[in-house]
Chain A
Amino acid sequence: MQHQLKREERPLSPRLGIYRWHATMIASLAHRASGLALVLFVPIYLWLLRGMTGSTEQFDATLLWLHSGWGKLFLWLMGVALVYHFINGIRFLCIDSGWFESRAGLRNTAVAVIATAVVAALLLPVLL
């Protein structure tokens, strides 16, 4: 008799580990990641504000941290996340409204927002 495996005994074919990342997939997953980072940034931001307004010493310490390497890296990451999430959010709203909905439109706008975020990431250290 032929051996038949039950559905749940059959192995699942590989997925995320093997799938090639297209620009649209990077754009979508980066939107989730940057959104999560920005939400988590809010309590940290409030904590920093509290630190700055507590006393003169705390203000100096917080200022010092923000101007340190780690502080700058943190602000840079948040800045890039904000720029990316903002422009890709507008892209998603446009697509929801039916603009850039062709195959080329979806692809090209994904490349455009990623490229803009890269430019912003390169320009941001100059401002910090």
Chain B
Amino acid sequence: MREMIRLSIFRYDPEKGGKPVMQAYEVPLLNNGMKLLDALNYIKWNLDGTLTYRRSCGEGICGSDGLNINGVNGLACITPIAGLKQPIHVRPLPSMHVIRDLVVDMDHFFDQYRQIQPWLQTITPVPEHERLQSTEDRARLDGSYECILCGCCTTSCPSWWWNGDRFLGPAALLHANRWIVDSRDEATGARLDQVEDAFRLYRCHQIMNCMEACPKELNPTAAINHIKRKLLARKS
């Protein structure tokens, strides 16, 4: 007899309405390296086809399956079953509007990402060849460019839960910092102007859930602090 894994999964059906409920499932342990996504797939393909969740690459690079797993945000596809206390509580990313089961509305999250204008901005004429960057300047982007925009950090942040309409949240601010430190970008001043606001940037209260939640082990707290220091340096 195979070892069984117990799961408790957040269910919400907009057609039926009513309140969301937690539903229990039991899934056999398929192999030693089994990930949480494998268990969700097993449920969907063998037990209950109505279970709805997002997933794509299955290897932690597309950022589709950000979920709240036993109280902490993470990606189902790279979270090993072995380290999880059972029953494994699987819920959608916190403080998000639920469309169905584990699928949430990410529109506002991506709108905030768009607000920081995440592209290279220049005013100098386009050079004959590419805009070059030294090895050292390129290294300063390490820890920022790896972000896959899964939303685990932003939706783990209590400041964002309570002021998400105005506070940009860790993911957008990590990306804001990514462009602020980019030696090729020439809109640093405008970027700093945009985030210099009691809510957009300064709602960060160093709770640091973002750093704990990030499945890519990045450090949005440090990125936010770097922007704050940049603003301070500009003033003095």
Interface residues of A (CB under 8 A from B): 3, 5, 7-8, 10-16, 18-20, 22, 24-25, 28-29, 32, 92, 95-98, 101-103, 106-107, 110
Q: Can you spell out 8 A-B residue pairs with CB atoms less than 8 angstroms apart? A: A5-B99, A11-B20, A13-B10, A15-B158, A18-B89, A20-B71, A25-B207, A97-B229
Residues of B within 8 A of A110 (CB): 208
Residues of B within 8 A of A8 (CB): 97
Partner of A22, one of B10, B70, B209, B229: B209
Nearest to B160 among chain A residues (CB) is A15
State how many angstroms separate the Cβ of B66 from the closest Cβ of chain A: 12
State how many angstroms separate the Cβ of B79 from the closest Cβ of chain A: 14
Name 7 extra pairs, CB < 8 A, besides A14-B10, A103-B211. Answer: A11-B98, A12-B97, A13-B98, A15-B95, A22-B212, A25-B208, A95-B225
Residues of A within 8 A of B98 (CB): 10-13
Please state if A11 and B208 are interface contacts (CB–CB under 8 Å).
no
Partner of A102, one of B19, B206, B207, B219: B219
Give complex CA distance A7, B92 in Å: 16
Give complex CA distance A28, B20 in Å: 31
Please state if B91 and A13 are interface contacts (CB–CB under 8 Å).
yes
Give complex CA distance A124, B228 in Å: 37
Report if B112 contacts A (CB, 8 A). Answer: no
Please state if B95 and A32 are interface contacts (CB–CB under 8 Å).
no
Chain B contact residue count (CB 8 A cutoff)? 41
Report if B104 contacts A (CB, 8 A). Answer: yes
Given A15-B161, A22-B209: A10 and B95 interface contact (C-beta under 8 Å): no
State how many angstroms separate the Cβ of A97 from the closest Cβ of chain B: 8
Give complex CA distance A102, B72 in Å: 20
Please state if A7 and B208 are interface contacts (CB–CB under 8 Å).
no
Please state if A18 and B209 are interface contacts (CB–CB under 8 Å).
no
Please state if B221 and A16 are interface contacts (CB–CB under 8 Å).
no
Please state if A24 and B208 are interface contacts (CB–CB under 8 Å).
yes
Please state if B206 and A95 are interface contacts (CB–CB under 8 Å).
yes
State how many angstroms separate the Cβ of A28 from the closest Cβ of chain B: 4
Nearest to B12 among chain A residues (CB) is A11
Residues of B within 8 A of A13 (CB): 10, 20, 68, 91-98, 104
Give complex CA distance A97, B228 in Å: 10
Please state if A19 and B209 are interface contacts (CB–CB under 8 Å).
yes
Please state if A19 and B206 are interface contacts (CB–CB under 8 Å).
no
Please state if B94 and A106 are interface contacts (CB–CB under 8 Å).
no
Residues of B within 8 A of A28 (CB): 205-208
